[in-house]
Amino acid sequence: TGKRITIGNGQEGRIFYESSALKITQTEDDGDIAFFNDDGSGGVVEYMRIDGSEERIVFSKDVKLQDNDILRIGSGNDLKIYHDSANSYIQQSGTGDIRILQQVDDADIVFSCDDGSGGTTTYMYLDGSITETRFSKATRHSDSIIAKFGDGNDMNIYSDGTNGVISVETDNADLVFR
């Protein structure tokens, strides 16, 4: 235990060292702890704030993690987001699924990538306004990879490496051309 610095009329702010940790405490109801620094242009701006009324940390400027530094999320560090100087990763190593949720009415989830000539283009999107999965570019299925249709996977389309195959796997079912 070392010296304590107290700040404020009611001593709401305290800075002290205890048990191998520097502790900064702010006890005013709904109060904040804000971190300000030079803005690179002669002014001073907020970079980060611990918001007591909203119970969250607010970053007012970009957060930069260096290559191989990992953003770890979850009590067991289950979700990791990082860049290793060559590739970027979203990695889930705990339990459960990775879920991407779009909760804006009639909005989409868009998958875009390089267009082969220096720009980007949309390859696929989940269209929330008409509830369809839309493909904007061709899809390629490797040999013997089956595209399955129907709740019971009763129609299949694939290439076996030699032949293109369309099969109907249900008794008393017909392949109908319209």
Number of Cβ within 10 Å of residue 127's Cβ equals 14
Res. 120: pLDDT tops 90? yes
Token pair belonging to 115: 């267009």
- Contacts of 60-66 with C-beta under 8 Å, sequence gap 24+, read none
Report d(CA 129, CA 110) in Å as an integer: 13
Q: What mean pLDDT is reported for the chain?
A: 92
**Kind of pairing between the strands at 120-127 and 132-135:** antiparallel
Of 102, 91, 158, nearest to 133 by C-alpha is 102
Categorize the per-residue pLDDT at 89 as very low, low, confident or very high, splitting at 50, 70 and 90.
very high
Instruction: Give the residue carrying structure tokens 């998958």.
Output: 111
- Dist CA 124 CA 108 (whole Å): 10
- pLDDT bin (cut points 50, 70, 90) of residue 11 is confident
- The per-residue pLDDT for 2 is 67
State residue 60's pLDDT score: 96
Q: How confident is the model at residue 1 (pLDDT cuts 50, 70, 90)?
A: low
User: What integer pLDDT is reported at residue 65 of this predicted model?
Assistant: 96
Query: 112, 124 in Cβ contact below 8 A?
Result: no
Indicate the residue type of 50.
I
Mean pLDDT along residues 91-101: 92
- Which of 13-22, 23-32, 134-143 has the highest average model confidence (pLDDT)? 134-143
Per-residue pLDDT band for 6 (boundaries 50, 70, 90) equals confident
Q: Which residue has the higher pLDDT, 8 or 112?
A: 112
Per-residue pLDDT at 10 exceeds 90: no
pLDDT value of residue 14: 86
Per-residue pLDDT, averaged over 81-87, amounts to: 97
